[in-house]
Amino acid sequence: MFHGNKIVVVMPAYNAARTIEQTYAEVPLDLVDEVVVTDDASSDETVEVARRLGLRTLVHDQNRGYGANQKTCYTEALRLDADVVVMLHPDYQYTPKLLAPMIGMITDGPFDVVLGSRILGGGARAGGMPLYKYVFNRMLTATQNLLGGGKLSEYHTGYRAFSREVIEGLALLENSDDFVFDNQMLAQILHAGYQIGEVSCPAAYFDEASSINFSRSVKYGLGVLWVSLQLFLQRKGIASFPIFDPKGKRLDPGANAPEALPAPTS
């Protein structure tokens, strides 16, 4: 518990066998009540490593996509009665050492959402972010701020903390099962008026860290622009979209979960 709040860290995993143990080793377990791994049908030993570490591990029977994996993460966190949910990628690209300040910014206010920004502090390129990704990041972020009315340094980080109210209040089941899920979720958060904070977060790029190639990056960028345009049109009352519908489909913690592998008994 952290200041009387239950903290759940979720790790959406795909082929993270070589890095998940290193990531978990730096999680401050004196602050975190539970770590949940949701495996999106990895072809390596991710599930075996997570289970050996004693982590609550949910397994998709087939690969469903990054967005679908997050839906499983957040549904399970709600099922565990989390007050604060932190998404931490198990590829060790983001340091778990920032969990305490990110959690505190929510439990002690004034934020509903906290993002670990690779851009604040200027360390993205030093950490190995490819130049084309850095340029895409800056261009997309500027466009998103313009269309969505935000003032964020980065929309594309995978290190995020949310209050339970945010997870319950968004129509997350209306979102994509692919990588654009992240930006749909931030668009929903901006539209709903939740308060967003950011912390400077160093990020490391290496062979084992998950990434998407250039063609997938272009597809992702186009998806981000479309989501930003949707938010602009919704804000101006020109059009309406399901992801912003107050009656849109929300996560159901009572729904059947994927197979959960318990910790070993010996």
> Is 231 a residue whose pLDDT tops 70?
yes
Based on DSSP, count helices (H) and strands (E) in the chain, helices before strands. 8, 8
In this predicted structure, what is the pLDDT of residue 209?
Answer: 53
Q: How many CB atoms lie within 10 A of CB 105?
A: 20
Q: How many CB atoms lie within 10 A of CB 98?
A: 19
Maximum Cα–Cα distance across the chain: 60
- The single-letter code of the amino acid at 76 is E
Judge contact between 189 and 170, C-beta under 8 A: yes
Segments making up each domain of the chain, as ranges: 7-248
- Angle between helices 214-235 and 181-192 in degrees, nearest 10: 20
In this predicted structure, what is the pLDDT of residue 207?
Answer: 57
CA 73-106-33 angle, 5° bins:
50
Phi-psi region of 149 (alpha: psi -120 to 50; beta: other; left: phi over 0): left
Q: What is the average per-residue pLDDT within 128-156?
A: 90
Q: What is the average per-residue pLDDT within 69-93?
A: 97
- Least confidently predicted of 32-46, 115-129, 130-144, 231-245: 115-129
- 137 or 60: which leads in pLDDT: 60
Query: pLDDT category, 264, cuts 50, 70, 90?
Result: very low
In this predicted structure, what is the pLDDT of residue 85?
Answer: 98
In this predicted structure, what is the pLDDT of residue 178?
Answer: 94
Residue among 1, 3, 36, 26 nearest 105 (CA): 3
Most confident listed range (16-20, 116-120, 121-125):
16-20
- 167 or 135: which leads in pLDDT: 167
In this predicted structure, what is the pLDDT of residue 212?
Answer: 67
Residue among 83, 82, 58, 153 nearest 115 (CA): 153
Judge contact between 151 and 235, C-beta under 8 A: no
**Is the sign of the CA dihedral 68, 109, 127, 144 positive or negative?**
positive
CATH number of the domain located at residue range(s) 7-248 in this protein: 3.90.550.10
Local structure of residue 7 (DSSP, 8 states): E
> Is 134 a residue whose pLDDT tops 90?
no
In this predicted structure, what is the pLDDT of residue 202?
Answer: 85
| pLDDT tens-digit readout, 174-226 | 999 999 999 999 999 999 999 999 999 987 765 555 556 777 888 899 999 99
- Distance in angstroms (rounded) separating the CA atoms of residues 65 and 67: 6
**43-74 CB burial, b ≥16 within 10 A, e <16:** eeebbebbbebebbbbbbeeebbbbbbbbbbb
> Is 12 a residue whose pLDDT tops 60?
yes
> Is 25 a residue whose pLDDT tops 80?
yes
Q: Output the average pLDDT for the chain.
A: 91
Judge contact between 38 and 73, C-beta under 8 A: yes
| pLDDT tens-digit readout, 240-261 | 999 999 999 999 998 877 876 5
Q: What is the average per-residue pLDDT within 56-76?
A: 96
In this predicted structure, what is the pLDDT of residue 109?
Answer: 86
> Is 265 a residue whose pLDDT tops 80?
no
- Distance in angstroms (rounded) separating the CA atoms of residues 221 and 84: 29
